[in-house]
Amino acid sequence: MTETREQEQRPSAPPPLEANDQLVTGVITAGWAVALVVLLIVRDSLPAGDRWWIWTCVSGLVLGLFGLWYVPRMQRGRARAAARRASADPGQPVPPAGQASSGDPAQRTGQPMPPVDSV
């Protein structure tokens, strides 16, 4: 009974913030590149046990470059999927990418999904 009251008193959640995913990925990748350059400059003064940081920076840089390649493809794929949904059922509003689509059982039936018991 108290859970219902608490839920009624809570304000609705704000909408998710939109970000420039490529910019975020690029800045983080540049940070890994700068860290790698700094560690390569001071490599000789690093203790042998701390040289794994160099490989951590290499991994971050490689994953960041992959992200710069992948993010635009992911966004184009989401846009194509949204366009397909819009052309398949013109009467339905197209939800933003990442939100429930017509494939969501709760949206299809109009009934809320039952809660899942956590272990």
CA distance 81 to 75: 10
- Measured CA distances, 112 to 15, 76, 80, 93 (Å): 20, 31, 28, 19
> What would the pLDDT profile of 19-43 be if each residue is shown by its tens digit?
899 999 999 999 999 999 999 999 9
List pLDDT tens digits, range 75-97: 999 999 989 888 876 566 555 55
